[in-house]
Each structure stands twice: as structure tokens, then as C-alpha cells.
Amino acid sequence: MQRLRPISIVACCLLWTANAHAQISLTPPAADAPKPAAKPATQPHTLAKKPAAAPAPKPAATSAPAVTVVPTPPPDDPNVDLVYGLYQRGMYKSAFNLASMRAVAGDTKAMTMLGELYANALGVKRDFAKAADWYKRAADAGDREAMFALAMLRLEGRGGAPNREEAVKLLASSAKLGNPKAAYNLALLYLDGQTLPQDVKRAAELLRQAADAGNPEAQYALATFYKEGTGVPKDIDKAVRLLQAAALADNVDAEVEYAIALYNGTGTPKNEAGAVALLSKAARQNSAIAQNRLARVLVTGQGVPMDKVEGLKWHLIAKTAGKGDPMLDDELARLSPEDRAKAEAGARKWLGSPVLTPR
């Protein structure tokens, strides 16, 4: 019976860059050449997302990354709810106008909203200095979201000179007020060992705080700690439960890891069909590792009806992202010309390219 190889995750600090997905360092499949762990970035990413009703367009590759903080208005303040409602519906100019009036009256949530709008050029020209000013006013008034957002700006040196010491204090204050994003990013700084002395146990505590609050990135990171015994006693059962929670929240890396655990019956009852379904989901979310694992199970027919054409389509797609696999290359070479043409056509259609250019 084929076993899927789990992803070995290097427990190192990988700070989030703005408008980029979290990347925990992954050891590639056995067929791939080992690569060193990724070097920590210098710009932690905020974890809040834009409202689904009005997704912001993806910035061009050369555009400046923006801090994203979605203020959570208290339900008993109809004025703040109105500002937030306008923001949710993408009516940024109206949200800006109303928030400006509310901020002058001392409304801290409106101040945070102004910082958000200035930082992300929503309804107003991007101005990090003004964003930092409004975030600071709200942070001084005790708003945890503003503290977090201002910390991100201070780390990145936007809206003023970089100030990592101030950023750490802001993250700590925000985390103390229960902000899971702040706890997660502060944990990364403790792992990095540059801004703060490296302390994996403190990092684990902060990750647990964020994970308990439902932060999927923290759940995934803490799962790797339990899996490898980093800063916590090794506990595969806890690791798998955290992977499951993060996977249910659509964390792609967790989907892959949890699928592998299900496939192999590691820390959870064996469920090959469920594993393949998760791998398929992650593959369609452009996880090259999932694409490689899905290709293997489809080609071998383990846990799913054998479909070499579909499996090798995913193999070709994974190769373009650098996830080669000699075993699957051999299977591709043995396909009939007609089936190989189908696999290549499927890969080209997925990639939106007339030519396959594997790395």
C-alpha cells in the first residue's frame, strides 16, 4: 500500500509579506532536490481579509504592499456599524466621509477605519503617513486593531522610519487585548530571533493564544510545533486536530498536511477518500505539493479510481512550479501518444498557456 510522504516543516520564523500567502518552509517530495529553509522576510503580513462582498483587486507586482485591517465594530454603536457597512459594500468614499466625521468626534473605530482606507487607497489616495497618524490616535485610545496595524507599518518603515522596538510593544499590547493576528506575528518575531531574542516556548504560547482564537495560520504553525516537538511536547494527536481545524478554515498548507495524515492514518482514522478530496481541493488552490501528491494517487489508483491521464495532467502542472517527480515522468513516458496529448492539453488549459515550460 502506497504511503504519502508527510511534509517536513522547518520551524523557523517566516514573517508575512503584505498581500502574500503565508509560507511555512516545506521539504519537497522525495523526488525533488532538497532546498534550504526560506530566509525570513522582513515584513509581517496582516492576517485580516477584505470583506467578501467587495474584494479588492490584486495589486500589480510593482505596487506597494498595503496593510489590511478590518475593524470589528461593536454591535451597540449604530454609527460605527454604518461606517463598517459602507466599507463592506465597497462604498469606500462614503465610508471615508462618514468615518472622518465620527473620528473628529473621538470615535476610535472610525479612526482605525480611516487608517485602513488611507493605507489601502480605498476611497482616498494612499498615504501611509496619514494612515499611521490615524492608527496611532486609535491605538493610543486602546483600539487593538489599530495597535496591530501601526505595528505593521513600523516594522515595514511605512508612514515613518522603521521602529521595531515600538512595533514589538504595539504587538504585545494588541495581543494582550486578545488580537490573534498580533499574537501570531509576535510569535514569529520570537522565532526569528532578530528583533527579539529567540524563544520557541514563548512563540508556542503566543501561537496557542492565536490558535485558540481561531486563527488558521496559527493553528497550522502550532500543529507543526506539536508534530516536531518544538517548544512543546511532541504530540501527533494534537498536531492532527490543529491541522484539521486549520484545513476547515481553508488554510491550504494545512489541507495538504491533514490530507496526508488521513491518507496514512496518522493520528486519525485512515480515510483515503477524504484525503484525496482534500488533495484535490488544495491542488485547485494551486498548491504544487498537493498537485504532486494527487498525481501520485491518481496514477497508482490508491484511494481513488486510477486515472493516469488526469494524474499526469496534475504532474505536468506541478512540474511548472518546480515539483518534479521521476516516477511520474516514467509513467508519462509510457502513456500512449493519444493519452499523453490529452494530459498535456489538460495541463495547458489549467495553466492558461499554449506551451508547458517546467522548471
pLDDT at 116: 97
- The DSSP code sequence of 29-45 is PTTSPP-PPPPP-S-PP
3-state helix, strand, coil in the chain (%, to 5): 55, 0, 45
pLDDT at 9: 33
Q: Name 252's Cβ contacts closer than 8 Å, sequence gap at least 6.
A: 21, 282, 285, 287, 290
Q: Are 101 and 109 within 8 A, CB to CB?
A: no
Give the integer Cα–Cα distance in Å for 184 and 98: 32
Q: Is the dihedral of CA 160, 138, 112, 171 positive or negative?
A: positive
Give the integer Cα–Cα distance in Å for 221 and 203: 10
pLDDT at 29: 37
List the chain residues with pLDDT less than 70.
Answer: 1-80, 354-359
pLDDT at 328: 96
pLDDT at 16: 31
Q: How many residues does the chain have?
A: 359
Give the integer Cα–Cα distance in Å for 178 and 53: 26
Which pTM was predicted? 0.75
Give the integer Cα–Cα distance in Å for 7 and 77: 46
pLDDT at 15: 31
